[in-house]
Chains A and B, each alone.
Chain A
Amino acid sequence: MRIDSEKCVGCFRCIPYCPVGAIKRSGDIATIDQDECVECGVCLKSGICRLGALYQPELKWPRVLRSQFSDPLAPHPSTGIGGRGTEEMKTNDVTGRFKDGEVGIAVEMGRPGIASRFSDLEKVAIALARHGVEFETHNPVTFLLDTKTGRLKDPTIGKERVLSAIIECKTKSEKAVEVLKELQKISKEIDTVFSLCVINKCKEGEVPIIPELEKAGFIPRINGKTNMGLGRPLRT
């Protein structure tokens, strides 16, 4: 995103709309720190600038990744859909993506609202790959990774900054705690945050993985997402 210095009158009303604080005062006008900007488009979409000073230039590789991952209205060319992840457990009643004895893990880098560089994402992906997790093939992050090593296929994208990006994978239930402990370690080596999801198929109205998580000291929040089992044809 850019600000046309000829049109900006320095009202600075756009500043608070930026989720990452990239819009700053520069003398009498507002400017955007291009290194910090994640190309989410929130400022432009808000309509806060009535003078049309905010404008979106065409983004080229690798900067275009910022928009693809930060703006939920921008579709990913790799998957053809917008948003940041996949159907994950939302259609599990039909797809059976997560089976009995499996655990899905989603690491959303930069969430909530802190943003992340791909270099930090790579650190986490390498840690996950070391434990032999199965990366989700439909996820746009997976397209950017060598799934055997977790390394970025194109190292030059490491500096790109996005509002968030989700690494999705799954593993066997008995390996889940081991993987979470690895994530705990790597979380101390990154320059941002991640929000962590654990997906599990229910059995007779219970969540089988919860006792194991709690025993290892990983206490889930009281709230989250539940697939209600209304999808058809139902995969039991």
Chain B
Amino acid sequence: MTHTHHRRGDRKSLQNDYVVLAMVTRDYPEQTTYKGPLEERVKKFIEICAKYNPVAIASTDKAGNAMRYMKGWEKRMDSGIHKSATVEEVAKNPVAFRHAVYINKEDVINVIRELKDADLGLSVVVSGIFDEVFDICRKVGTGPHTVNLSLETWGKTELLPKEPVLSLLTMCGHAMISRYLIEELINRVKDGKMTPEDAAVEMGKQCTCNIFNPVRGAEIIRQYLGLTK
């Protein structure tokens, strides 16, 4: 599960892209039972994440349904198994947390600070630019404990799509967003048939883990096509 890893782009673009996730190990039951029922701590975790302007956030409800919020995703855009939810619906009665995506460092600082104070015992991982995330650690007074570095992509790299497709595609680490769909949606925006925001949502919907950053996605499309906001 390195799916929030290997996100491509330059510093300017990645500065607006943070993914927060939480996990409990299966190997040490002490973490599962730390300070009370896990379900309550998961709920608290999502409440905290939901407070600070996530552009995407997801949980699983008691019936096992994926509850997914993504900025700009309206009900009219639902299709297949991809159903939109509000932030409030995501935070209501979750049994499992998925991820939250942010575009502002200050929001991530607030999330991590509040999580530290809440002492929920969950392992928390932030994907983002290392020096920015390490700065968050310093400001909050925690970690960093361990890092996962990316040494890029090796092998037949000539098979890879060019930018901006690669930056958009790598925002879903499981590669559920087809490069061909990205190209088609960019062309639709170019032809004036779709907004960059709607195109980004259609891409992000395919990412079932809900870690696609729709705001960054729309900005990448806009910049590529030379469009102004």
Binding site for B on A (CB under 8 A): 15-21, 40, 42, 44-48, 72-73, 83-95, 98, 104, 106, 108, 111-114, 163-164, 166, 180, 183-184, 187-188, 190-202, 205, 207, 209-210, 213, 218-233
A46 to chain B: closest residue by CB: B80
| Least CB separation from B116: chain A residue | A230
Cα-based distance from A195 to B81 in the complex (angstroms): 29
Most chain-B Cβ atoms within 10 A of its Cβ — which of A16, A194, A196, A228?
A228
Nearest A residue to B9 by beta-carbon distance? A223
Could you tell me which residues of chain B, from 158 to 200, have a CB within 8 Å of some CB in chain A?
Answer: 159-161, 166, 169-170, 173-181, 183-184
The verdict on B206 contacting chain A, using a C-beta distance below 8 Å, is yes
B124 within 8 A of A: yes
Give bound CA distance, A180 to B152, whole Å. Answer: 12
B223 at the interface (CB under 8 A from A): no
User: A233–B35 Cα gap in the complex (Å)?
Assistant: 10
Answer whether A47 and B159 are a contact pair too, CB < 8 Å, given A91-B123, A200-B147, A233-B30: no
A111 shortest CB reach to chain B, Å:
6
The distance in angstroms between the C-alpha atoms of A201 and B21, with both chains bound, is: 18
20 A-B contacts (beta carbon < 8 Å): A21-B180, A42-B176, A83-B1, A89-B148, A90-B1, A90-B123, A91-B24, A91-B27, A95-B27, A112-B170, A112-B175, A187-B155, A193-B156, A222-B131, A226-B127, A227-B144, A227-B146, A228-B125, A231-B121, A232-B31
**Other-chain residue from B28, B115, B150 in contact with A95 (beta carbon distance below 8 A):** B28
Known contacts: A19-B177, A223-B7. The answer to whether A94 contacts B159 by CB under 8 A is no
The contact string, 1 if C-beta is below 8 Å from chain A, for chain B 98-115, is 000000000000001001
Distance to closest chain B CB from A174 (angstroms): 17
What residues of B have a CB within 8 angstroms of the CB of A108 in the complex? 2, 6
Q: Does B142 contact A (CB under 8 A)?
A: yes
Which residue from B21, B82, B151, B181 sits with its C-beta under 8 Å from A197? B151
A93 CB to closest chain B CB (Å) equals 4
Interface string of B57-99 (1 = CB under 8 A from A): 0000000000000000000000111100000000000000000
Closest to B176 in A: A42
Q: Residues of B contacting A48 with CB < 8 Å?
A: 79-80
Interface residues on B, range: 35 or more
A187/B28 in contact, CB under 8 A: no
Which one, B125, B151, B154, B205, contacts A90 given CB within 8 A?
A: B125
A87 and B27 alpha carbons, distance in the complex (Å): 10
- A209 contacts across to B, CB distance below 8 A: 149
Q: How far is the CA of A84 from the CA of B127 in the complex (A)?
A: 18
**Which residues on the A side are within 8 Å of B175 (C-beta)?**
19, 111-113, 163-164
Q: How far is the CB of B3 from chain A (nearest CB, A)?
A: 7
Having A16-B183, A193-B159, A210-B149, one finds 10 other A-B pairs with CB under 8 Å, namely A87-B26, A88-B148, A89-B146, A114-B159, A196-B151, A207-B149, A219-B151, A222-B11, A223-B17, A227-B144
The answer to whether A232 touches B119 (Cβ under 8 A) is yes
**How far, in angstroms, from A112 to B154 measured CA to CA in the complex?**
11
Query: Is A224 within 8 A of B169, CB to CB?
Result: no
- The answer to whether A163 touches B156, judged by C-beta atoms less than 8 angstroms apart, is no
B170 to chain A, nearest CB (A): 5
Contact among B82, B146, B153, B178 for A18, CB-based, below 8 A: B178
**Residue B56 lies at the interface, judged by CB distance under 8 Å to chain A:** no
Q: Do the beta carbons of B147 and A94 come within 8 Å of each other?
A: no
On whether A163 and B147 interact (CB within 8 A), knowing A18-B180, A91-B24, A194-B155, the answer reads: no
- B128 located at the interface, meaning its Cβ lies under 8 Å from any Cβ of chain A in the complex: yes
Taking A73-B208, A224-B5, A225-B125 as contacts, is the C-beta distance between A113 and B178 under 8 angstroms? yes
Question: What are the residues of chain B within 8 A of A113 when measuring CB–CB?
Answer: 161, 169, 175, 178-179
A195 adjacent to B143 (CB under 8 Å)? no
B25 CB–A CB distance under 8 Å: yes
